[in-house]
Structure 1
Amino acid sequence: MNRTLPDTSQHSPVPPVTGMSLAARLAILLFVVIALRHLDNWIRFLTGWPLPSLGNVAYTLIFSGFALLHSGVSLGRYRTLAFFAISAVVSWLLEEVGVATGWVYGHYHYSNMLGPKLGLVPAIIPLAWFMMIYPSWVVASALLGLAARDTSTGIVSRAVVASMVMTAWDAVMDPGMSRAGNWVWENGGAYFGVPLHNYAGWLATTFIVYLLFGIVSRRIRPDAAHAAQTRVFSALPAICYAMVAIDHLIAQTIPELRVVDVFTMGFITLLALIGIARQARDNVPV
């Protein structure tokens, strides 16, 4: 006698994809390229050898590609799409307002070094924001551990911590990038030529992005691209954050910023890696 089984497809979670997907392999490949770029930069700075190097635009494209692929594997396609869309729209809008008025970050404008512009802002800037936003979100998740779960408290906590993690990145990046001519602070500023207003703007921008994504992601069901990951793969964005911290320590053109780097990005990296190791020891699910 044939018996019809009940249809539970609408109620069962999507099963994780087993094995390493093409997206995961591509993410690892781009991670290797990023690591080689940093190694090249360190060797060139320490030895003076005229090694070839990636420019800022190529580096941003590769790093943002890694962030998108890693997020797609770890969070799923739809959550990644939402994350990137929120990041791109919020960052571009606030940058446009910022350049036009000076209200968000202080009075500044972009040079032509970062390529063609969309309005007043280089088209690559939304990619650059996500390049930094996603690894900082992963680092914040490692710092918070179980407290970063998708509860209301967890969403707000992660938004606060992640925005501070990312602003720490800008604290060691912005002075050098502006001195190199990528953008110009029209009235200078108290922090190595950068106005303190800028960092309040970074905190506000990133907090809005992280908070909106936290709220939206709770309503998005994981899709088939959301696969179970190894701890090493899950930690790759945090390792990228660590490499950036080392980069600013070794190849920093403003010597005083090395101290800032150690006690901001360096300290954050140390705590994040300890958190990742502790979760591995306690067998906390990735």
Structure 2
Amino acid sequence: MPPNLEASEKETTQLHEVVWVRLKRLLVWLLLFGIFLRYASIWASALTGASLPGLGSAGFTVLFAAFSILHASDMLGWRRALLFLLVCVAVSWGFESVGVATGAVYGNYHYGDALGAKIAGVPLIIPFAWFMMVYASWIVAHILLEGAGTPSSIGGALARAFVASTAMTAWDAVMDPGKARSGAWIWEKGGPYFGVPFQNFVGWIATTVAIYLIVAVAFRFVPRRQIHSNTRFYTGLPVLAYALVAFDHLLIETIPELHIVAAFGICLVALLAILRLILVRDAIALPD
């Protein structure tokens, strides 16, 4: 092949890649805007009393999960992003199915019919609901622990798994009681925390730590591809998605007492992550 033709083909390939990356990032921004619009419609309905159309739980989960997987593909490459998704779906479904069957993980519970079709008692949408916030919490942890060991080291991976699992469980602390009261799932023996057993939160920590540690180990066998440069703010976009979830629970909560839980739980985590995102100027370190 003549050198000039080879160079031309290389330039064309690079151009196509740049165009694809820019289109993907535009889609990431649009999906984040969609998440904002969904919450904005809820807030507007609460303030005005008007009934506005919405996506429903399943539609919103698909929207948020799509945002997470596309952003992850930009940060980690498609192989690692899909690996992250598959590990999360498999582990969360495994824990949930055992939990529904035995009560040994989260306590005795079962799902209602509101969340759609089930496999082994677990709605198909649930593992993707785990992923949408598992990834956002993972980015939150990397921002909060910047400079505290390298993400790929054993200590760094353990620390980030613990912080990310805490960020995830802070979400469940405000989400679970309301969802249970709406009939999305039923706690068969109730519990001391607004009808939720404390075992549930131990199960959440166990599930998320397992996901993060398996992902950390799996990443060692899947090289991180060379990615295009990202701004610090773009890398931290999942923090904004996490913050929208936090603010929603602070503003709209069917159980009034949970406002204080939201303020000093998930909202505090979101605020600290946003402050770190703004005040620290270095690039956000992700696993090599």
Q: Report the TM-score when normalising by structure 2.
A: 0.89
Quick check: 1:215 aligned with 2:217? yes
In structure 1, C-alpha distance between the alignment counterparts of 2:192 and 2:236, rounded to whole Å: 35
State the shift of 1:126 in Å.
0.9
Relative to structure 1, the CA distance from residue 82 to residue 48 in structure 2 (aligned partners, 3 Å threshold; closer, same or farther) is: same
Relative to structure 1, the CA distance from residue 59 to residue 190 in structure 2 (aligned partners, 3 Å threshold; closer, same or farther) is: same
In structure 2, C-alpha distance between the alignment counterparts of 1:109 and 1:285, rounded to whole Å: 40
The aligned counterpart of 2:153 is: 151
The aligned counterpart of 1:30 is: 31
State the shift of 1:285 in Å.
5.1
Q: Secondary structure at the match of 1:105?
A: coil
The structure 2 residue matched to 1:162, chosen from 161, 164, 183, is: 164
The aligned counterpart of 1:40 is: 41
Specify which structure has the bigger relative contact order, considering alpha-carbon pairs within 8 angstroms and separated by 6 or more residues.
Answer: 1
- Kindly, what percent of the aligned residue pairs are identical? 45
Relative to structure 1, the CA distance from residue 285 to residue 54 in structure 2 (aligned partners, 3 Å threshold; closer, same or farther) is: closer
The structure 2 residue matched to 1:173, chosen from 172, 175, 180, is: 175
State the shift of 1:278 in Å.
2.5
Verify the 8 A CA contact 1:188 1:194 in the aligned structure 2: yes
Residue 264 of structure 2 aligns to which amino acid in structure 1?
A: F
Verify the 8 A CA contact 1:61 1:127 in the aligned structure 2: yes
Verify the 8 A CA contact 1:188 1:195 in the aligned structure 2: yes
The aligned counterpart of 1:184 is: 186
- Provide structure 1 residue ranges, at least 5 long, that are not aligned to the other structure: 1-16
Question: Which whole-Å deviations, capped at 9, do the CAs of 1:180-201 have from their partners, x for residues lacking one?
Answer: 1100000111000100000000
In structure 1, C-alpha distance between the alignment counterparts of 2:218 and 2:177, rounded to whole Å: 34
State the shift of 1:45 in Å.
0.9
In structure 2, C-alpha distance between the alignment counterparts of 1:259 and 1:270, rounded to whole Å: 15
The aligned counterpart of 2:259 is: 258
**Mapping of 1:120-131 within 5 angstroms?**
120-131=121-132
Residue 93 of structure 2 aligns to which amino acid in structure 1?
A: W
The aligned counterpart of 1:194 is: 196
**Mapping of 1:1-40 within 5 angstroms?**
20-40=21-41
Question: Which whole-Å deviations, capped at 9, do the CAs of 1:120-172 have from their partners, x for residues lacking one?
Answer: 10111111110110000011111101225211111011001100110000001
Verify the 8 A CA contact 2:88 2:131 in the aligned structure 1: yes
The aligned counterpart of 1:106 is: 107
In structure 2, C-alpha distance between the alignment counterparts of 1:76 and 1:127, rounded to whole Å: 19
- Provide structure 2 residue ranges, at least 5 long, that are not aligned to the other structure: 1-16
Aligned residues: 267
The aligned counterpart of 1:243 is: 244
Verify the 8 A CA contact 2:232 2:283 in the aligned structure 1: no
Residue 146 of structure 1 aligns to which amino acid in structure 2?
A: G
Q: Secondary structure at the match of 2:53?
A: coil
The aligned counterpart of 1:230 is: 231
